[in-house]
Every structure is written in structure tokens, then in C-alpha cells.
Structure 1
Amino acid sequence: MAIDRRDFMRRAAVVGAGSLLVGGPFHGFIAHASQGSRARNGNHPLGYGPLESTPDERDGVERLLLPRGFRYRSFHPSGDSLGDGVTIPGFHDGMAAFRGSRGLTALVRNHEVNGPVGAFGDTGDAYDAMAGGGTTTILVDGFGNVADSFVSISGTQMNCSGGPMPWGSWITCEETVNGPDVGPDFTGGDNTKLEEKHGYVFDVPSGGRSAAEPVRAAGRFAHEAAAYCPHDGAVYLTEDNFGFPSGFYRYLPPVNPRSAGRLVDGGRLEMLAVTGWANADLGGVDEPAPGVGAVFDCEWVTIDDPDPTFTGTPSNDQAVVAVGEQGRASGAALFARLEGAVEDRNTIYFCSTQGGNQPSDAPAPPGYGNGRGQIWAYHAPTSTLQLVYESPSQEVLDMPDNVTTSRRNTLVLCEDGVNDTQYLRGLTTDGEIFDFAKNNMEGQTGDEFAGTTFSPDKQTLYVNIQSSNGLTCAIWGPWGSGGL
């Protein structure tokens, strides 16, 4: 029997209001999230108070606004040198923290460099000697003092985000499908100069250099983030397909990666679909977005050709949708630009950067999606999906991107809005947002926060400011006085 879409949405809303099926730390979220409120200047009971101009301990320059009592030191600006002598690339992006030697933290950090500009470091170790992206690894203390640093993978492209894995690796994700078999992307670069296909995920060990082998069965698409779920052993993957619908995927490896010590190729790629609603529009593009609290039963459809090789050099727009169109032909759901993802107690929280209904205080941003951001939660044990937050306005939350969780189970969201005012926001388990940091760098445009991650002891928050002249910051202070 055919199900009317409006009737389906009413049922989903009733389920969401009546019982919260999603587990994890946000069990009390829905009672307040739909109000869409924000504590101005961080003055929520779990916030830290007004933000103040705070000098960088490296050189005294006021790069961040932080609550009183917090301090920071920036390090590794673009153009400086790593410990191995390689020049630090720009566009610092996704990042994760691991336990390093001698009580230090090992940061594995993406560099979202695009185009056939040549690999940094030793090109003999690069996946593609012509591609300029990759990751660098930094041994650093809790106050931003760097002890060592080196290239951990090179010759990749558009390394946007990824995710830390419990076997001690960072999965770095290429947000592109460039290659010699594909026409130029939005930058106009000559893809015939590339030596390899791109659009993959790579396993980068936290303590050394990656073998630079793509996990091809995990798909060739505009990858954004990765999160491992212990319940089913899957790596969940988000897609940021800027001008087109995006999908939510999972990769089921053929070997338990916790036993293998790495993510093994040759598994199965699947894409999320809403049970009973083929091609569910969850981003609010052609249909109104679901209400906060709506819960959907889900199923997974198989991607038969996760690693396409193209003939006839199709346009980049044609190539970038090739994997997603396979899933949507089988009923997979549509989202508006999926970016950051993090796992907590078998629940994957992920950001739809342009999801939601268009707020009245701002025009629709460029790209696919009219809203200012949604936070979704997928609960693996029950295979249910819930919308736990939607930005009601540009002023409250403007296009969330990278995300991590704090020791108090607050989500820390990096904004990637279309204006030059970018914040780190805390989103509490009762659905309240507060400001934690503001980018106060001058003389640059297009900056954004990225790669937020806590040190293993939770005493330092590391975060990148992404731009062509990027850098990384270590932030420390009285965490116990607020919600992080």
C-alpha cells in the first residue's frame, strides 16, 4: 500500500515526540532542542561567560575571543617547517588527538589542498606525486609546544575531515572524485596531470606514516567524515556533495579492523534509506524538513559499484554523483551537505551543514540546501535516525561543520558560515547552544574553524583555523566551570 508523504511525516513526528529511540548522551535532548535557543555570549548555565579578546601565548597577537580564564597558543602556521624539514601546507582541516610518546599528544591533521600542484615531502612516498593534499602528524604538549612533527601521508587531494579509530588510526577522507578519468572540478585544474584516481579514504596510523593505500571498496565520492561504531563494526561515512544531494553511508570491512590494526579493503558499501519512504528528502530542499524529534526506521541499500572508473572523461558534476545515484536508485535518503561525524555509545551524530528550513533572518546559502544546519543521530542497535537539532536562524548557529564530543557529552561544533564571523559553539544535551570561541584573526577572508578535538586527558582542546594561511591552536583553562 502506498504511503502518503504527509501521513508518513505525521507518524514520524508522533514517534519522535512520544519516545526517544536514539541512545547515547543526548537522551534528554528533545525536550528543549525544538526551542532553538542560544545563550547570548555564552551565558547559559553550562557556558563560560562572555567572550573576551585573548592574546596568543606564542606572540601576543589577539587571534581568538575566549571566555575569561582560558588561554591558548597557536602553532604550525602554513609555511613553517615540520620536524622532518618539509614546509607545512595550508588549509588545515579535520584532525584527531591520540596518546603519544613521553606523555605528549599525537595530532594527525588534514590539509585540504586541491589541484595537481605536486605532493609535499618525498614524492617517492606519495600516493600521487602530483596531488598536494595529505596529513601531518604533530607531537605536542597540552600548551601548544611542539616536540616533533612529520608527513604522515601525501599525494592525496582535498583531505577534508575523517575520524579517529579505536585501533589507533586516523581515517583521512578525500572530498573529491578528481582523477585523470574525470574533467576539471570547480577550481579548473588540469586533472590529466594526476597520476591516480581520487575520492577515497586512507588509514593513517597515529604514530607513523601511512602506506598510502586507498580503501577503494569504501567508495569513490566526496567523502567528508568517518566514525567507527563498535556495535556493528562499521565505519560510517558522510558525503559533502556541495551542489547535489548527499548520502549517509557505512562501510562494512571484510576483517575486524580492531584485530587487523587497520581498515582493510574489500568490504561492502551501503547507503541509508528511510523505511517506507523512498528517497526521503531529509534536508528540506524540495519538501519541508522533518521537525526536531522526528524518528525514522532505517534500512541500508548496497552500492554495487563503489569504485567507478570513468570512460570518455565525464564532467566532474557527472562523476561526483555516480556513487550516490546508485543508492538513490534503490531509495536512499537525500541530505543537504553532510560534514562532521562523531560516535558516542553506538550513536553516530553528524552535521547536515545546509539542512533544515530556510530561516527568516537570512537568504539561502549557495549550494545544495536552504537551511543553516541540522544535527542528526543514527542509533545503530535499533537502526533508527533522529533529527535532534535544527538551527532556527543564522545568528543562533550558522552551518555546523566539524564536530567532537566533550567529557560532559556536549557537542563542540565548528561553524563554516558564509560570513566572516565564525564561532566554536557548545551544544548541550538539553538542546541549548552557547558560544565558546570566536575567530578574531584580521586581514583574512574565508577562514573557518576545523578539526576540533580534545587531548586524551581532556585538558586541552585543539582546533584549526583553516585558510591558505592556516594554523593550529591549543586551548586550555577552567573546563570544570562549564559544559565542556
Structure 2
Amino acid sequence: MQRRTFLRASVLGASTVAFTGSLWHSALAAPAQNATGPYGSLLAADANGIQLPSGFTSQVVARSTQAVPGTSYIWHSAPDGGACFADGSGWIYVSNSEVNPGGGASAIRFDSGGSVVSASSILSGTRQNCAGGATPWNTWLSCEEVSLGFVYETYPFGGTAVQRPAMGRFKHEAAAADPVRQVIYLTEDETNGRFYRFIPTTWGNLSSGTLQVLVAGSATSGSFTWANVPDPDGSPTATRSQVSGSKSFNGGEGCHYADDTVWFTTKGDNRVWQINLLNNTYELAYDDSLVSPGTAPLTGVDNITGSTFGDLYVAEDGGNMEICLITPDDKISVFLRINGQSSSEITGPAFNPAGNRLYFSSQRGTTGSSSGGITYCVSGPFRT
């Protein structure tokens, strides 16, 4: 793999403010390799069964089928993808429900001290809402992970959710907004899924636009182009089968944009892909079969987010129930581990605007059932 130079930073949530921290760079080698994490080794599990580095603490925010503490709102089952939005001096955390039928998404509003203010539904009556993504105009894109699934644009600050068929009908997973190129990137959870971008006719309005697919060779690095998808409705021909030469990805999952780069994960081969948008090239940021020394820490790759410092946080679906950290100098380590929940998966990692709280869920908790989901918050001295 050629060495390259790039900057990593993060645009968190969908507020009108870009929450970017230190922009720093060096000549780096990919994919990521094992190293001691920036926060040191994990301590023994806390009262919530979570192992964390020194200085970090966890708390339970909500439990599926139970009222969110301090409210009468019943938290949804199977919490999945999530994001944070700045709300004055506080913030809102949104979370999907990967239930079919039923689905939907909920929101919890926090004050400046991190205490719950209120909770509510922002989407209902949909199917298997897995991941999604935040937009710069403060909406949450909730994606249906079903055949011919839709993207729904939801309104955490109030408003009725809207179906966005122009963004394509396929087995949607995650979305990531790129305010520079004014596009939305989309992943597809199929063994031969594709990586897409949607170009709205008008930035900020997702009612119409052009769906494109990434076209590249079969190698794990190289150059790419974009091609229009002729029929975004995916019928009678699936969107992934409409463009000759479009690149196949094995089980697209999480997606994250920052600083002219978009990262996304593929669960079928335990990889994190890096798309370099300034020079239209792609490469591997992580591959579990290429890690040394020792055993690869990250398997079952799933949701992904970034910190204000530029660290990537990748959640596991299975594996050792860990969130792993990939640093800007391509080192990977375990940030946290949840014990006693091997029949679950970690979902929805997202930082609050200040970057000192990380929200995420265990989709099936200790029970292994969708009704056993637990949403957590970890606080501590995150690098900013």
C-alpha cells in the first residue's frame, strides 16, 4: 500500500456548526496495525459490565420497553444507528429501531449537564431502521435495511418525517453528508452491495436529485469514478446490478465523513474502507487479515463515527462486543468492551457536540432479545 498524507477531523451530528478539532497530518501507512491505545489498557468491568480505560465512566441512559428515566416515553426495541445534534447549550441523541415491522426512530434531549430533559418518537411505522446519518441542516436520515428499503428524513427538533425515494430503493444501511461536494454517501447491506452517493438538485432538499454508484476495479486500492444509476427505484433491476463496472462491497455498514474523506465498513470481510475525495482514490484503512503483530482486535465491523481529534471509533456486531479506535497515524486498539452480552451487537456510536460523551447501544443487551436493548453514555477525557 502506498504511503499517503491526509488530514482527519470530524463533523459531528447535523448542527449548523462543524465540530472539528485539531487538524493534523503526517505521512501514514495503511491499513491500521495493532498498538497500545492512546488511553491505555482497559480496567476491570464497572457496574454496567463495561471495561473502560482509566478516567472514563459509563452510565445507562435508556432501556428498551422501559420509560426513559425522567420521562414517560418508552424507549424503542433494538436500538441501532444514532447521532447527536447541538441544541442550544444541550444536545439531542437520536436512535433507530431495527424492528420489522415497527421500526422508526426516537430522540432524547439533554441539558448542558447531560441530564435528560425529554424523549419522543421522530419516526414510526417503518421497517428495520438500521443505521443512517445526520445532515448539516439538522435532520436525521433513517435508513431501512430491507429489500427496496427507503431513506426517511426525520426532524429531531420537530416536524413530520418524509420518505425520500429519490435517494434510491435498496437495502440501505448508513448515510454520511459531505457539505463540500454537497452530496450524501450511502452504504448497502448486501454481500454484493455497492457504495453510492446522492446529489440533491438543491443542497438541503432531498426531494429530488441524482443517485450515483462508485465504479472501480476489483483491487483493494486504486482510482474510482461515479456513474448514474438509471433506475433508483430498484425495480425490476436492483440498483447494485444496473451499472457495469460498479464496485462490489461485501456487506456495507457504517459510514462517516470528515475533511474530504469518507470511511465506511464492510462486515463480510471485516474491513474499513477509505475514500479519498480530493484525488478520487480508495484504499483500506483496516483489514483484519492484515493486522500485526498479534490478533486483529476488530471483527464484526459495523457502525463507525469520529471524534473531534480525528480518531475513528468502530463498533462490533458480535466479535468481543468492543468499540475499537483507529488513530490518525493508523494504529488500532480496543477502547471499550461490554461483558456478558455476547448475543448482542454495539450500535449507534455518536459524540455529543463537546466531544466528551460517547453514546452507543447494545442492541439486545443481556437478554439477546430486541426488547433487551440498552443505550449507554461514556464520559471522560476524550482527545479533542
User: TM-score band (shorter)?
Assistant: 0.7 to 0.9
Report the AA paired with residue 450 of structure 1: T
Deviation at 1:29?
6.8
Q: Tell whether 2:117 aligns with 1:133.
A: no
Q: Tell whether 2:192 aligns with 1:200.
A: no
Deviation at 1:86?
4.6
Question: Residues 104-143 of structure 1: matches in 2 within 5 Å?
Answer: 104-115=90-101, 132-141=102-111
Q: Tell whether 2:82 aligns with 1:95.
A: yes
Q: Tell whether 2:353 aligns with 1:456.
A: yes
Deviation at 1:399?
2.2
With over 3 angstroms needed to count, the CA separation of the structure-2 counterparts of 1:27 and 1:174, relative to structure 1, is farther
Q: Tell whether 2:161 aligns with 1:212.
A: yes
Question: Residues 6-405 of structure 1: matches in 2 within 5 Å?
Answer: 16-17=1-2, 20=4, 24=8, 28=26, 30-31=28-29, 33-34=30-31, 37-39=33-35, 43-44=36-37, 46-55=38-47, 62-81=48-67, 85-101=72-88, 103-115=89-101, 132-141=102-111, 145-177=115-147, 199-209=149-159, 211-241=160-190, 244-257=191-204, 263-274=205-216, 277=217, 280=218, 290=220, 294=221, 296-308=222-234, 322-327=238-243, 330-355=244-269, 373-392=270-289, 395-405=296-306
Identical columns (%): 31
- Whether the 8 Å contact between 1:162 and 1:173 is mirrored in structure 2 is yes
Gaps of 5+ in 2: 10-23, 365-369
With over 3 angstroms needed to count, the CA separation of the structure-2 counterparts of 1:147 and 1:161, relative to structure 1, is same
Q: Tell whether 2:330 aligns with 1:431.
A: yes
- Whether the 8 Å contact between 2:175 and 2:186 is mirrored in structure 1 is yes
Paired with 2:200 and 2:5, the residues of 1 have a C-alpha distance of 27
Give the TM-score, by structure 2 length. 0.86
Deviation at 1:176?
0.6
Deviation at 1:68?
2.1
Paired with 1:214 and 1:382, the residues of 2 have a C-alpha distance of 33
Match in the other structure for 1:466: 363
Gaps of 5+ in 1: 1-15, 56-61, 116-131, 178-197, 258-262, 283-289, 311-320, 356-372
Give the TM-score, by structure 1 length. 0.69
Report the AA paired with residue 199 of structure 1: G
Match in the other structure for 2:15: none
Offset from partner CA, 1:398-417 (integer Å, 9 cap, x none): 12111111122110110113
- Whether the 8 Å contact between 2:8 and 2:328 is mirrored in structure 1 is no
Deviation at 1:94?
0.6
- Tell me the secondary structure at the aligned position of residue 206 of structure 2: coil
Paired with 2:382 and 2:179, the residues of 1 have a C-alpha distance of 28
Offset from partner CA, 1:315-336 (integer Å, 9 cap, x none): xxxxxx7121113xx2100111
- Whether the 8 Å contact between 1:22 and 1:386 is mirrored in structure 2 is no
With over 3 angstroms needed to count, the CA separation of the structure-2 counterparts of 1:37 and 1:377, relative to structure 1, is closer
Offset from partner CA, 1:375-427 (integer Å, 9 cap, x none): 1111223222222221136642112111111122110110113x5x2101111
Paired with 2:344 and 2:113, the residues of 1 have a C-alpha distance of 23
Q: Hey, which of these two has a bigger chunk of strand by percent?
A: 2
Q: Hey, which of these two has a bigger chunk of helix by percent?
A: 1
With over 3 angstroms needed to count, the CA separation of the structure-2 counterparts of 1:94 and 1:233, relative to structure 1, is same
Paired with 1:80 and 1:145, the residues of 2 have a C-alpha distance of 17
- Whether the 8 Å contact between 2:39 and 2:54 is mirrored in structure 1 is no
Paired with 1:477 and 1:220, the residues of 2 have a C-alpha distance of 40
Deviation at 1:24?
4.1
Report the AA paired with residue 281 of structure 2: T
Paired with 1:152 and 1:139, the residues of 2 have a C-alpha distance of 12
- Whether the 8 Å contact between 1:47 and 1:434 is mirrored in structure 2 is no
